[in-house]
């Protein structure tokens, strides 16, 4: 039995950045699943002492995002004494940008979470996404930045939530055979409308899982019949083509990848609208 591998993530803020960096890197090492120790909001010498005691108890590589020079020095020197790697994940980017812009780094922790105008834009976008989920409040679609249209189980809702975290007002409208889409959808002027589609076989698989998890199921319904789902997807694609909406196949895409593609379309859409 091999010894456990420990990884320490140290941040003077919420830890989201260093966690995201760790996730992005660790997926490249298939056989490594370290025990993660997350140390967030580390902003005093006393708190850093607690972190160092934890590292001494379970030695392992350290990734950190700490801005205060005294705390950084304390962490780096202690890690050198313990002979464990200590990696400042943001330093290369910050120093490159500082050199390019010709301005100093402020060294203030948590600035990305400041309650500025962008923060309130994200809150507003989140409220919009929640109140315009699954075709709700169609009369207000004209206020959307992005509208997602797709058959059931094409990840419309989580994609809208992800976009809202980027400050994008996103609504979603389900495509259901035999049920007309809201007329407001076809009269929006500022919003980018995007069609989402998925491989029918995978749709059936995902839908069956949902049906099995719900009381009363519809195991024999058209909702999970492969031929019916194929017709449903084909009908949705015809609609997207008719209105010249960009189409994204989410079959092998994560929510983040789908959202990134939508944001690319949205940037182009805004440029063309100017």
CA dist 128 and 140 (Å) reads: 10
Is residue 156 marked as binding?
A: yes
H-type helices in 141-254, by residue range? 156-164, 200-213, 226-242
Is residue 89 marked as binding?
A: no
Is residue 73 marked as binding?
A: no
CB 242 within 8 A of CB 193: no
Is residue 11 marked as binding?
A: no
Collapsing DSSP to helix, strand or coil, 197 comes out as strand
Please name the helix (run of DSSP H) or strand (run of DSSP E) that holds residue 259, with its range, or none: helix 255-273
CA dist 238 and 66 (Å) reads: 52
Is residue 189 marked as binding?
A: no
Is residue 154 marked as binding?
A: yes
Give the β-pairing of 62-65 and 86-88. Answer: parallel
Is residue 176 marked as binding?
A: no
What are the b/e assignments for 163-178, b being 16+ CB within 10 Å? bbebbbbbbbbbbeee
Is residue 150 marked as binding?
A: yes
| Known binding positions | 150-157
| Known binding positions for ADP | 150-157
């Amino acid at each position: 039995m091999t010894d456990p591998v420990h990884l320490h993530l140290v941040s003077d803020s919420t830890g989201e950045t260093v966690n995201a960096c760790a996730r992005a890197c660790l997926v490249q090492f298939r056989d490594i699943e370290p025990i993660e120790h997350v140390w967030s909001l580390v902003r005093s010498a006393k708190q850093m002492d607690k972190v160092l005691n934890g590292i001494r108890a379970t030695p392992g590589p350290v990734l950190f995002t700490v801005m205060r020079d005294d705390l950084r020095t304390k962490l780096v020197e202690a890690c050198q004494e313990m002979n464990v790697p200590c990696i400042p994940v943001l330093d290369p980017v910050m120093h490159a940008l500082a050199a390019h812009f010709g301005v100093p780094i402020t060294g203030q922790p948590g600035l990305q979470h400041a309650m500025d105008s962008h923060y309130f834009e994200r809150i507003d976008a989140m409220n919009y996404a929640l109140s315009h989920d699954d075709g709700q409040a169609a009369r207000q679609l004209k206020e959307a930045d992005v509208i997602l249209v797709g058959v059931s189980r094409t990840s419309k809702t989580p994609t809208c939530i992800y976009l809202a975290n980027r400050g994008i007002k996103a609504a979603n409208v389900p495509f259901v055979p035999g049920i007309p889409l809201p007329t407001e959808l076809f009269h929006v002027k500022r919003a980018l409308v995007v069609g989402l589609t998925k491989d029918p076989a995978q749709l059936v698989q995902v839908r069956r899982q949902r049906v099995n998890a719900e009381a009363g199921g519809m195991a024999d319904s058209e909702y999970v019949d492969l031929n019916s789902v194929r017709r449903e997807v084909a009908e949705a694609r015809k609609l997207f083509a008719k209105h010249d909406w960009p189409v994204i196949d989410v079959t092998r895409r994560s929510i983040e990848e789908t959202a990134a593609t939508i944001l690319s379309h949205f940037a182009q859409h805004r440029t063309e609208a100017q």
